[in-house]
A and B are shown apart, each in its own frame.
Chain A
Amino acid sequence: MDDLKLLRDLGVELEHEPPATLRLQRESLSRSRPRRRWAAWWTAGLVAAATAAAVVVPTLIVSDRHTAPAPAAWRSVDMSGTRNVLLIGSDTREGPGNAKYGPQQARSDVGQRSDTIVIVHIPADRGTATAVSIPRDSMVAIPRCGSSPAQRNMINAAYDLGGAACLRKTLESLTGLRIQHTVEVDFTGFKKMVNALGGVEVTLRRPVDDRASKLKLPAGKNHLDGEAALGYVRLRYYGDGSDIARVKRQQQLVQAMLKKARSGLSSPTSLKTFLSSVRDAVTTDLSVESLYALATDLSKTELTFTTVPWEPDTQDRNRLQWKQPEARELFSGLK
Protein backbone atom coordinates (compact mmCIF):
# COMPACT_ATOMS: atom_id res chain seq x y z
CA MET A 1 0.00 0.00 0.00
CA ASP A 2 1.10 3.53 -0.79
CA ASP A 3 2.73 5.31 2.12
CA LEU A 4 0.87 8.54 1.43
CA LYS A 5 -2.41 6.63 1.45
CA LEU A 6 -1.49 5.08 4.80
CA LEU A 7 -0.64 8.51 6.15
CA ARG A 8 -3.97 9.89 4.95
CA ASP A 9 -5.80 7.05 6.66
CA LEU A 10 -3.93 7.79 9.85
CA GLY A 11 -4.95 11.41 9.45
CA VAL A 12 -8.60 10.42 9.14
CA GLU A 13 -8.23 8.43 12.32
CA LEU A 14 -6.67 11.33 14.20
CA GLU A 15 -9.03 13.95 12.84
CA HIS A 16 -11.59 15.77 14.96
CA GLU A 17 -14.64 17.62 13.71
CA PRO A 18 -14.72 21.33 14.55
CA PRO A 19 -16.86 22.02 17.61
CA ALA A 20 -19.70 24.54 17.51
CA THR A 21 -17.60 26.83 19.68
CA LEU A 22 -15.21 27.37 16.78
CA ARG A 23 -17.53 30.16 15.71
CA LEU A 24 -16.54 32.11 18.80
CA GLN A 25 -13.13 32.55 17.18
CA ARG A 26 -14.89 34.32 14.34
CA GLU A 27 -16.34 36.72 16.83
CA SER A 28 -12.95 37.79 18.09
CA LEU A 29 -11.99 38.24 14.46
CA SER A 30 -14.84 40.61 13.79
CA ARG A 31 -13.75 42.59 16.80
CA SER A 32 -10.37 42.73 15.07
CA ARG A 33 -8.38 43.49 18.14
CA PRO A 34 -5.65 40.88 17.92
CA ARG A 35 -3.52 42.38 20.64
CA ARG A 36 -6.22 41.94 23.23
CA ARG A 37 -6.74 38.36 22.41
CA TRP A 38 -4.18 36.77 24.66
CA ALA A 39 -5.31 38.91 27.51
CA ALA A 40 -8.82 37.62 27.10
CA TRP A 41 -7.61 34.03 27.18
CA TRP A 42 -5.52 34.48 30.24
CA THR A 43 -8.20 36.28 32.07
CA ALA A 44 -10.96 33.96 31.12
CA GLY A 45 -9.10 31.41 33.17
CA LEU A 46 -9.01 33.66 36.17
CA VAL A 47 -12.65 34.34 36.04
CA ALA A 48 -14.68 32.13 38.26
CA ALA A 49 -11.87 31.24 40.59
CA ALA A 50 -11.03 34.77 41.55
CA THR A 51 -14.53 36.04 41.80
CA ALA A 52 -16.07 33.05 43.43
CA ALA A 53 -13.19 32.88 45.85
CA ALA A 54 -13.62 36.49 46.79
CA VAL A 55 -17.09 35.91 48.08
CA VAL A 56 -17.41 32.19 48.53
CA VAL A 57 -14.34 31.79 50.66
CA PRO A 58 -15.10 34.53 53.15
CA THR A 59 -18.76 33.71 53.31
CA LEU A 60 -18.79 29.95 53.50
CA ILE A 61 -15.72 29.01 55.45
CA VAL A 62 -17.09 29.60 58.84
CA SER A 63 -18.37 26.59 60.72
CA ASP A 64 -20.32 26.48 63.97
CA ARG A 65 -17.12 26.59 65.96
CA HIS A 66 -16.62 30.14 64.88
CA THR A 67 -19.44 31.64 66.84
CA ALA A 68 -17.17 32.91 69.57
CA PRO A 69 -17.66 36.62 70.19
CA ALA A 70 -15.55 38.91 68.10
CA PRO A 71 -12.64 40.77 69.67
CA ALA A 72 -13.79 44.03 71.17
CA ALA A 73 -12.06 46.16 68.56
CA TRP A 74 -14.51 44.86 65.97
CA ARG A 75 -17.80 46.58 65.87
CA SER A 76 -20.53 44.25 64.77
CA VAL A 77 -22.29 45.04 61.54
CA ASP A 78 -25.84 44.20 60.63
CA MET A 79 -25.74 42.29 57.36
CA SER A 80 -29.15 40.68 57.65
CA GLY A 81 -31.80 40.74 54.96
CA THR A 82 -31.47 39.94 51.29
CA ARG A 83 -28.08 40.82 49.86
CA ASN A 84 -27.01 40.90 46.24
CA VAL A 85 -23.29 41.11 45.61
CA LEU A 86 -21.79 41.89 42.23
CA LEU A 87 -18.49 40.12 41.58
CA ILE A 88 -16.21 41.46 38.89
CA GLY A 89 -13.11 39.64 37.71
CA SER A 90 -11.06 42.35 36.10
CA ASP A 91 -8.13 41.88 33.77
CA THR A 92 -6.58 45.21 34.55
CA ARG A 93 -2.81 45.29 34.18
CA GLU A 94 -2.58 48.46 36.17
CA GLY A 95 -1.22 48.56 39.65
CA PRO A 96 1.92 46.91 40.97
CA GLY A 97 2.21 43.23 40.20
CA ASN A 98 -0.42 43.02 37.49
CA ALA A 99 1.74 44.30 34.65
CA LYS A 100 3.71 41.10 34.20
CA TYR A 101 0.57 39.23 33.18
CA GLY A 102 0.51 41.26 30.02
CA PRO A 103 3.11 44.00 29.99
CA GLN A 104 2.20 45.01 26.47
CA GLN A 105 -1.31 45.63 27.67
CA ALA A 106 -0.17 47.76 30.55
CA ARG A 107 1.94 49.88 28.28
CA SER A 108 -0.69 50.39 25.64
CA ASP A 109 -3.20 51.51 28.27
CA VAL A 110 -6.15 49.59 26.95
CA GLY A 111 -8.05 49.98 30.17
CA GLN A 112 -9.74 47.21 32.05
CA ARG A 113 -12.34 44.67 31.14
CA SER A 114 -14.76 42.83 33.27
CA ASP A 115 -14.10 39.34 32.07
CA THR A 116 -16.12 37.74 34.79
CA ILE A 117 -19.42 39.08 35.95
CA VAL A 118 -21.28 37.20 38.65
CA ILE A 119 -24.23 38.23 40.76
CA VAL A 120 -24.33 36.42 44.08
CA HIS A 121 -27.79 36.47 45.56
CA ILE A 122 -27.99 35.83 49.29
CA PRO A 123 -31.59 35.40 50.40
CA ALA A 124 -32.86 36.76 53.70
CA ASP A 125 -33.35 33.26 55.12
CA ARG A 126 -29.73 32.36 54.18
CA GLY A 127 -30.94 29.00 52.86
CA THR A 128 -29.33 28.74 49.42
CA ALA A 129 -27.21 31.44 47.84
CA THR A 130 -27.20 31.61 44.06
CA ALA A 131 -24.27 32.74 41.93
CA VAL A 132 -25.44 33.82 38.47
CA SER A 133 -22.72 34.18 35.83
CA ILE A 134 -23.35 36.81 33.18
CA PRO A 135 -21.61 36.07 29.86
CA ARG A 136 -19.48 39.08 29.10
CA ASP A 137 -20.51 39.11 25.45
CA SER A 138 -24.18 39.60 26.30
CA MET A 139 -25.67 42.38 24.20
CA VAL A 140 -27.71 44.53 26.58
CA ALA A 141 -29.19 47.98 27.00
CA ILE A 142 -26.68 50.04 28.95
CA PRO A 143 -28.22 53.09 30.65
CA ARG A 144 -26.61 56.52 30.67
CA CYS A 145 -23.42 56.45 32.74
CA GLY A 146 -21.75 59.77 33.37
CA SER A 147 -20.92 61.29 30.02
CA SER A 148 -21.61 58.20 27.93
CA PRO A 149 -25.14 58.01 26.52
CA ALA A 150 -27.46 55.04 26.83
CA GLN A 151 -26.60 52.39 24.25
CA ARG A 152 -26.98 48.79 23.21
CA ASN A 153 -23.62 47.14 23.65
CA MET A 154 -21.79 44.19 25.17
CA ILE A 155 -22.23 44.18 28.89
CA ASN A 156 -18.55 44.41 29.67
CA ALA A 157 -18.51 47.71 27.77
CA ALA A 158 -20.42 49.12 30.74
CA TYR A 159 -17.42 48.42 32.96
CA ASP A 160 -15.13 50.01 30.44
CA LEU A 161 -17.35 53.08 30.20
CA GLY A 162 -18.14 53.79 33.79
CA GLY A 163 -16.44 51.23 36.00
CA ALA A 164 -18.15 49.08 38.58
CA ALA A 165 -20.81 51.74 39.24
CA CYS A 166 -21.97 51.70 35.63
CA LEU A 167 -21.96 47.91 35.46
CA ARG A 168 -23.97 47.79 38.66
CA LYS A 169 -26.49 50.32 37.33
CA THR A 170 -26.80 48.35 34.09
CA LEU A 171 -27.40 45.08 35.90
CA GLU A 172 -29.90 46.62 38.28
CA SER A 173 -31.96 47.91 35.37
CA LEU A 174 -31.69 44.57 33.55
CA THR A 175 -32.50 42.28 36.44
CA GLY A 176 -34.71 44.43 38.61
CA LEU A 177 -32.56 43.36 41.55
CA ARG A 178 -31.12 45.84 43.99
CA ILE A 179 -27.37 45.23 44.15
CA GLN A 180 -25.97 46.31 47.49
CA HIS A 181 -22.29 45.51 47.14
CA THR A 182 -19.56 45.03 44.60
CA VAL A 183 -16.32 43.07 44.82
CA GLU A 184 -13.59 43.47 42.20
CA VAL A 185 -10.63 41.11 41.94
CA ASP A 186 -7.58 41.30 39.71
CA PHE A 187 -4.60 38.97 39.18
CA THR A 188 -2.61 40.21 42.14
CA GLY A 189 -5.60 40.09 44.45
CA PHE A 190 -6.25 36.50 43.59
CA LYS A 191 -2.64 35.54 44.29
CA LYS A 192 -2.73 37.32 47.63
CA MET A 193 -5.81 35.40 48.67
CA VAL A 194 -4.23 32.04 47.92
CA ASN A 195 -1.06 33.05 49.71
CA ALA A 196 -3.06 34.23 52.70
CA LEU A 197 -4.40 30.70 52.93
CA GLY A 198 -0.85 29.36 52.84
CA GLY A 199 -1.45 27.86 49.41
CA VAL A 200 -3.91 25.20 48.33
CA GLU A 201 -3.75 21.54 47.39
CA VAL A 202 -5.02 20.16 44.11
CA THR A 203 -4.80 16.67 42.69
CA LEU A 204 -3.93 16.46 39.01
CA ARG A 205 -4.71 13.53 36.81
CA ARG A 206 -2.14 14.60 34.24
CA PRO A 207 1.07 16.58 34.60
CA VAL A 208 1.05 20.21 33.56
CA ASP A 209 3.77 21.75 31.41
CA ASP A 210 2.46 25.03 30.12
CA ARG A 211 4.84 27.49 28.58
CA ALA A 212 2.29 30.27 28.32
CA SER A 213 1.81 30.48 32.07
CA LYS A 214 5.26 29.01 32.85
CA LEU A 215 3.64 26.36 34.98
CA LYS A 216 5.12 22.91 35.47
CA LEU A 217 3.44 20.43 37.79
CA PRO A 218 3.71 16.67 38.15
CA ALA A 219 0.62 14.48 38.16
CA GLY A 220 -0.87 13.69 41.57
CA LYS A 221 -1.14 15.88 44.63
CA ASN A 222 0.32 19.35 44.31
CA HIS A 223 0.68 22.24 46.70
CA LEU A 224 0.11 25.51 44.85
CA ASP A 225 1.13 28.92 46.07
CA GLY A 226 -0.58 32.04 44.77
CA GLU A 227 1.52 32.27 41.65
CA ALA A 228 1.03 28.61 40.73
CA ALA A 229 -2.68 28.74 41.50
CA LEU A 230 -3.02 31.72 39.19
CA GLY A 231 -1.14 29.82 36.49
CA TYR A 232 -3.42 26.86 37.05
CA VAL A 233 -6.67 28.76 36.60
CA ARG A 234 -5.24 30.45 33.54
CA LEU A 235 -4.27 27.16 31.91
CA ARG A 236 -5.68 26.67 28.49
CA TYR A 237 -3.99 23.74 26.81
CA TYR A 238 -4.83 21.17 29.40
CA GLY A 239 -7.45 18.47 29.74
CA ASP A 240 -9.74 18.52 26.73
CA GLY A 241 -8.96 22.20 26.25
CA SER A 242 -12.58 23.24 26.46
CA ASP A 243 -13.99 26.19 28.30
CA ILE A 244 -16.17 23.87 30.36
CA ALA A 245 -13.10 21.97 31.52
CA ARG A 246 -11.48 25.22 32.51
CA VAL A 247 -14.49 26.32 34.48
CA LYS A 248 -14.36 22.95 36.26
CA ARG A 249 -10.71 23.54 37.15
CA GLN A 250 -11.65 26.91 38.56
CA GLN A 251 -14.39 25.36 40.64
CA GLN A 252 -11.94 22.69 41.77
CA LEU A 253 -9.60 25.42 42.92
CA VAL A 254 -12.34 27.26 44.77
CA GLN A 255 -13.21 23.99 46.47
CA ALA A 256 -9.55 23.56 47.41
CA MET A 257 -9.52 27.07 48.85
CA LEU A 258 -12.66 26.36 50.83
CA LYS A 259 -11.20 23.15 52.18
CA LYS A 260 -7.99 24.85 53.16
CA ALA A 261 -9.87 27.72 54.74
CA ARG A 262 -12.12 25.41 56.74
CA SER A 263 -9.24 23.35 58.08
CA GLY A 264 -6.77 26.18 58.50
CA LEU A 265 -8.85 28.97 59.93
CA SER A 266 -10.10 27.30 63.05
CA SER A 267 -10.17 30.36 65.29
CA PRO A 268 -11.97 33.67 64.89
CA THR A 269 -8.62 35.41 65.02
CA SER A 270 -7.10 33.51 62.13
CA LEU A 271 -10.34 33.92 60.20
CA LYS A 272 -10.17 37.64 60.69
CA THR A 273 -6.55 37.78 59.66
CA PHE A 274 -7.52 35.99 56.49
CA LEU A 275 -10.51 38.22 55.85
CA SER A 276 -8.30 41.27 56.31
CA SER A 277 -5.99 40.02 53.60
CA VAL A 278 -9.01 39.29 51.39
CA ARG A 279 -10.18 42.80 52.03
CA ASP A 280 -6.79 44.12 50.93
CA ALA A 281 -6.69 41.90 47.89
CA VAL A 282 -9.96 43.04 46.40
CA THR A 283 -11.69 46.32 45.71
CA THR A 284 -15.00 46.39 47.51
CA ASP A 285 -17.35 48.56 49.45
CA LEU A 286 -17.67 45.79 52.04
CA SER A 287 -15.69 46.41 55.20
CA VAL A 288 -13.82 43.63 56.97
CA GLU A 289 -16.53 43.75 59.60
CA SER A 290 -19.22 43.25 56.97
CA LEU A 291 -17.30 40.37 55.46
CA TYR A 292 -17.02 38.81 58.90
CA ALA A 293 -20.70 39.30 59.60
CA LEU A 294 -21.58 37.73 56.25
CA ALA A 295 -19.07 34.93 56.79
CA THR A 296 -20.45 33.93 60.16
CA ASP A 297 -24.01 34.44 59.02
CA LEU A 298 -23.57 32.17 56.01
CA SER A 299 -21.91 29.26 57.75
CA LYS A 300 -24.72 26.89 56.79
CA THR A 301 -25.61 28.40 53.46
CA GLU A 302 -25.34 26.31 50.32
CA LEU A 303 -24.11 27.88 47.13
CA THR A 304 -25.40 27.01 43.67
CA PHE A 305 -23.85 28.16 40.40
CA THR A 306 -25.88 29.05 37.33
CA THR A 307 -25.58 31.11 34.15
CA VAL A 308 -28.05 33.57 32.71
CA PRO A 309 -30.08 31.77 30.03
CA TRP A 310 -28.74 33.01 26.71
CA GLU A 311 -29.07 32.54 22.95
CA PRO A 312 -27.23 33.93 19.93
CA ASP A 313 -27.95 37.62 19.45
CA THR A 314 -30.53 38.25 16.72
CA GLN A 315 -28.52 41.14 15.24
CA ASP A 316 -25.07 39.63 15.53
CA ARG A 317 -24.92 35.85 15.63
CA ASN A 318 -21.51 36.01 17.22
CA ARG A 319 -22.75 37.79 20.29
CA LEU A 320 -25.20 36.63 22.89
CA GLN A 321 -28.45 37.97 24.14
CA TRP A 322 -30.38 36.95 27.22
CA LYS A 323 -33.04 34.42 26.48
CA GLN A 324 -36.47 35.64 27.48
CA PRO A 325 -38.64 34.93 29.34
CA GLU A 326 -36.21 32.50 31.03
CA ALA A 327 -33.77 35.20 32.17
CA ARG A 328 -36.57 37.37 33.55
CA GLU A 329 -37.97 34.38 35.40
CA LEU A 330 -34.57 33.56 36.86
CA PHE A 331 -34.15 37.02 38.33
CA SER A 332 -37.73 37.45 39.49
CA GLY A 333 -37.23 34.18 41.36
CA LEU A 334 -34.38 35.84 43.23
CA LYS A 335 -36.40 38.76 44.55
Chain B
Amino acid sequence: MITQPAVRGADSELVSASWTDPEAFAVLFDRYSAMLYRYVSKRLGPEPAEDLVGETFLIAFARRTNYDLAYDDARPWLFGILTKLVSRHHRKEAARYRALLRAPVDATVESPADRVAAGVTAQAVRAELAGALAALPAKDRDVLLLIAWGDLTYEEVARALGIPVGTVRSRLNRGRRKVRAALGDTNPMEEE
Protein backbone atom coordinates (compact mmCIF):
# COMPACT_ATOMS: atom_id res chain seq x y z
CA MET B 1 0.00 0.00 0.00
CA ILE B 2 1.19 3.45 -0.79
CA THR B 3 0.23 4.85 2.59
CA GLN B 4 2.29 2.20 4.33
CA PRO B 5 5.60 3.67 5.44
CA ALA B 6 8.45 1.95 3.74
CA VAL B 7 10.33 -0.50 5.91
CA ARG B 8 13.32 1.54 6.84
CA GLY B 9 16.80 0.18 6.93
CA ALA B 10 18.95 0.32 10.01
CA ASP B 11 20.86 3.55 10.62
CA SER B 12 24.07 1.58 10.44
CA GLU B 13 23.28 0.64 6.84
CA LEU B 14 22.90 4.31 5.97
CA VAL B 15 26.17 5.14 7.66
CA SER B 16 28.04 2.45 5.81
CA ALA B 17 26.36 3.44 2.53
CA SER B 18 27.50 7.00 3.14
CA TRP B 19 31.11 5.89 3.14
CA THR B 20 30.89 5.64 -0.61
CA ASP B 21 27.76 7.70 -1.24
CA PRO B 22 27.78 10.80 0.99
CA GLU B 23 24.19 11.59 0.01
CA ALA B 24 22.99 8.60 2.03
CA PHE B 25 23.95 10.50 5.15
CA ALA B 26 21.31 13.11 4.46
CA VAL B 27 18.66 10.46 5.17
CA LEU B 28 19.94 10.29 8.73
CA PHE B 29 19.42 14.01 8.93
CA ASP B 30 15.83 13.61 7.77
CA ARG B 31 15.29 10.94 10.40
CA TYR B 32 16.75 12.61 13.43
CA SER B 33 17.25 16.34 12.95
CA ALA B 34 13.81 17.26 14.31
CA MET B 35 14.25 14.99 17.32
CA LEU B 36 17.67 16.46 18.13
CA TYR B 37 16.32 19.95 17.61
CA ARG B 38 13.54 19.42 20.13
CA TYR B 39 16.01 18.07 22.62
CA VAL B 40 18.43 21.03 22.35
CA SER B 41 15.56 23.50 22.33
CA LYS B 42 14.61 22.24 25.78
CA ARG B 43 18.09 22.68 27.14
CA LEU B 44 19.24 25.83 25.36
CA GLY B 45 16.18 27.33 23.71
CA PRO B 46 15.53 27.73 20.01
CA GLU B 47 18.34 30.21 19.35
CA PRO B 48 21.36 27.94 19.15
CA ALA B 49 19.39 24.75 18.49
CA GLU B 50 19.39 25.03 14.74
CA ASP B 51 23.12 25.54 14.47
CA LEU B 52 23.94 22.88 17.02
CA VAL B 53 21.88 20.31 15.15
CA GLY B 54 23.61 21.28 11.91
CA GLU B 55 26.99 21.07 13.54
CA THR B 56 26.17 17.71 15.11
CA PHE B 57 25.50 16.24 11.69
CA LEU B 58 28.59 17.81 10.18
CA ILE B 59 30.76 16.31 12.89
CA ALA B 60 28.97 12.98 12.57
CA PHE B 61 29.50 13.09 8.83
CA ALA B 62 33.19 13.79 9.22
CA ARG B 63 33.47 10.83 11.61
CA ARG B 64 31.16 8.47 9.77
CA THR B 65 33.94 6.02 8.98
CA ASN B 66 34.52 5.56 12.72
CA TYR B 67 30.94 4.48 13.33
CA ASP B 68 30.62 1.05 14.94
CA LEU B 69 28.35 -0.79 12.52
CA ALA B 70 27.45 -3.30 15.25
CA TYR B 71 24.92 -0.70 16.45
CA ASP B 72 21.83 -0.40 14.27
CA ASP B 73 20.56 2.72 15.98
CA ALA B 74 22.55 5.90 15.40
CA ARG B 75 20.67 7.99 17.95
CA PRO B 76 23.08 7.44 20.88
CA TRP B 77 25.98 8.33 18.64
CA LEU B 78 24.29 11.56 17.52
CA PHE B 79 23.18 12.44 21.05
CA GLY B 80 26.75 11.90 22.23
CA ILE B 81 28.09 14.41 19.73
CA LEU B 82 25.31 16.84 20.52
CA THR B 83 25.93 16.57 24.27
CA LYS B 84 29.54 17.63 23.79
CA LEU B 85 28.39 20.63 21.78
CA VAL B 86 25.78 21.53 24.40
CA SER B 87 28.48 21.53 27.07
CA ARG B 88 30.08 24.52 25.37
CA HIS B 89 26.95 26.44 26.25
CA HIS B 90 26.74 25.50 29.92
CA ARG B 91 26.55 29.12 31.02
CA LYS B 92 23.68 29.79 28.70
CA GLU B 93 21.92 26.64 29.87
CA ALA B 94 22.23 27.55 33.54
CA ALA B 95 21.00 31.07 32.78
CA ARG B 96 18.00 29.59 30.99
CA TYR B 97 17.02 27.55 34.03
CA ARG B 98 17.61 30.45 36.37
CA ALA B 99 15.33 32.59 34.21
CA LEU B 100 12.60 30.03 34.86
CA LEU B 101 13.10 30.55 38.57
CA ARG B 102 12.10 34.17 38.20
CA ALA B 103 9.49 33.83 35.48
CA PRO B 104 5.93 33.91 36.72
CA VAL B 105 3.86 30.84 36.00
CA ASP B 106 1.92 31.41 32.83
CA ALA B 107 -1.56 32.38 33.93
CA THR B 108 -3.23 31.93 30.56
CA VAL B 109 -3.83 28.21 31.04
CA GLU B 110 -5.33 28.50 34.49
CA SER B 111 -8.78 27.25 33.65
CA PRO B 112 -10.21 24.61 35.99
CA ALA B 113 -9.87 21.96 33.31
CA ASP B 114 -6.24 22.81 32.79
CA ARG B 115 -5.52 22.69 36.48
CA VAL B 116 -6.02 18.99 36.57
CA ALA B 117 -3.77 18.46 33.58
CA ALA B 118 -0.47 16.92 34.52
CA GLY B 119 1.42 19.84 33.07
CA VAL B 120 0.11 22.18 35.70
CA THR B 121 1.77 20.17 38.41
CA ALA B 122 5.03 20.57 36.59
CA GLN B 123 4.31 24.27 36.19
CA ALA B 124 3.64 24.62 39.88
CA VAL B 125 7.04 23.21 40.72
CA ARG B 126 8.76 24.67 37.70
CA ALA B 127 10.96 26.93 39.76
CA GLU B 128 12.09 24.07 41.99
CA LEU B 129 12.85 21.86 39.00
CA ALA B 130 14.70 24.60 37.19
CA GLY B 131 16.70 25.45 40.27
CA ALA B 132 17.70 21.84 40.72
CA LEU B 133 18.72 21.52 37.06
CA ALA B 134 20.78 24.70 37.22
CA ALA B 135 22.59 23.42 40.31
CA LEU B 136 23.37 19.93 39.00
CA PRO B 137 26.93 19.12 37.94
CA ALA B 138 27.09 18.95 34.14
CA LYS B 139 27.83 15.20 34.06
CA ASP B 140 24.80 14.34 36.16
CA ARG B 141 22.62 16.72 34.21
CA ASP B 142 23.66 15.20 30.89
CA VAL B 143 22.63 11.75 32.06
CA LEU B 144 19.40 12.87 33.66
CA LEU B 145 18.27 14.88 30.66
CA LEU B 146 19.30 12.32 28.05
CA ILE B 147 16.91 9.98 29.84
CA ALA B 148 14.13 12.42 30.71
CA TRP B 149 14.24 14.62 27.60
CA GLY B 150 16.14 12.50 25.08
CA ASP B 151 14.21 9.30 25.81
CA LEU B 152 17.33 7.19 25.73
CA THR B 153 17.71 3.99 27.72
CA TYR B 154 20.50 3.49 30.27
CA GLU B 155 22.47 1.46 27.73
CA GLU B 156 22.00 4.12 25.07
CA VAL B 157 23.15 6.87 27.42
CA ALA B 158 26.19 4.78 28.27
CA ARG B 159 27.00 4.49 24.60
CA ALA B 160 26.32 8.17 23.91
CA LEU B 161 28.64 9.36 26.67
CA GLY B 162 31.17 6.56 26.42
CA ILE B 163 30.76 5.53 30.07
CA PRO B 164 29.79 2.22 31.74
CA VAL B 165 26.10 1.55 32.41
CA GLY B 166 26.85 1.44 36.12
CA THR B 167 28.12 5.00 35.95
CA VAL B 168 24.94 6.02 34.14
CA ARG B 169 22.90 4.57 36.98
CA SER B 170 24.88 6.24 39.71
CA ARG B 171 24.82 9.63 37.99
CA LEU B 172 21.12 9.30 37.31
CA ASN B 173 20.40 8.39 40.92
CA ARG B 174 22.44 11.29 42.19
CA GLY B 175 20.69 13.68 39.82
CA ARG B 176 17.23 12.45 40.67
CA ARG B 177 17.98 12.59 44.38
CA LYS B 178 18.88 16.25 44.08
CA VAL B 179 15.79 16.99 42.02
CA ARG B 180 13.60 15.29 44.61
CA ALA B 181 15.34 17.14 47.40
CA ALA B 182 14.59 20.40 45.61
CA LEU B 183 10.97 19.35 45.31
CA GLY B 184 10.96 18.88 49.08
CA ASP B 185 10.57 15.12 48.90
CA THR B 186 6.85 15.74 49.21
CA ASN B 187 5.79 12.61 47.44
CA PRO B 188 5.29 9.76 49.91
CA MET B 189 4.71 7.33 47.03
CA GLU B 190 8.25 7.88 45.81
CA GLU B 191 10.47 4.95 46.54
CA GLU B 192 13.89 4.35 45.17
Contact = CB atoms under 8 A, between A and B. Distances in A.
B53 A25 contact: yes
Contact of B45 (A7, A11, A16): A16
B166 interface: no
Interface in A5-56: 5-19, 21-22, 24-26, 28-30, 32, 34, 37, 41
Given A1-B187, A3-B176, A26-B29, A241 B129 contact: no
Contacts of A17: 38
Nearest to A38: B55
A41 B54 CA distance: 12
A237 interface: yes
A240 interface: yes
Interface stretch (B4-12, B74-82, B118-126): B118-126
Interface in B81-95: 92
A28 B54 CA distance: 8
A102 to B, nearest CB: 16
24 contacts: A2-B187, A4-B147, A6-B129, A8-B149, A15-B38, A15-B42, A16-B37, A18-B33, A18-B53, A22-B50, A25-B29, A25-B54, A26-B29, A26-B30, A29-B25, A29-B54, A32-B22, A34-B58, A34-B59, A34-B62, A41-B51, A237-B92, A241-B46, A241-B48
Contacts of A16: 37-38, 41, 45-46, 49
A13 B122 contact: yes
Interface in B38-78: 38, 41-43, 45-51, 53-55, 57-59, 61-62
A10 B57 contact: no
B41 A15 contact: yes
B42 A14 contact: yes
Nearest to B58: A34
A37 B55 contact: yes
B93 to A, nearest CB: 11
Nearest to B28: A29
Contacts, number: 126
A4 B147 CA distance: 9
Contact of A240 (B46, B61, B92, B176): B46
B13 interface: no
A3 B58 CA distance: 35
A14 B125 CA distance: 14
Interface string A211-234: 000000000000000000000000
Contacts of A14: 41-43, 45
A236 interface: yes
B34 interface: yes
A69 B36 CA distance: 63
Interface of A: 1-19, 21-22, 24-26, 28-30, 32, 34, 37, 41, 236-241
Q: 8 closest Cβ contacts across the A-B interface? A: A241-B47, A25-B54, A9-B122, A16-B41, A18-B37, A16-B46, A7-B148, A34-B58
Contact of A6 (B41, B92, B121): B121
A7 B47 contact: no
Given A3-B179, A34-B61, A241-B47, A29 B126 contact: no
Contacts of A34: 58-59, 61-62
Contact of A30 (B26, B121, B179): B26
Contacts of A13: 119, 122-123, 126
A100 to B, nearest CB: 21
B121 A7 contact: no
Contacts of B62: 34
Nearest to B23: A30
A22 B51 contact: no
Nearest to B29: A26
Nearest to B95: A209
A41 B55 CA distance: 12
Contacts of A12: 119
Interface in B103-155: 118-119, 121-123, 125-126, 129-130, 144-145, 147-149
Interface in B168-192: 176, 179-180, 183, 187, 190
A95 B183 CA distance: 58
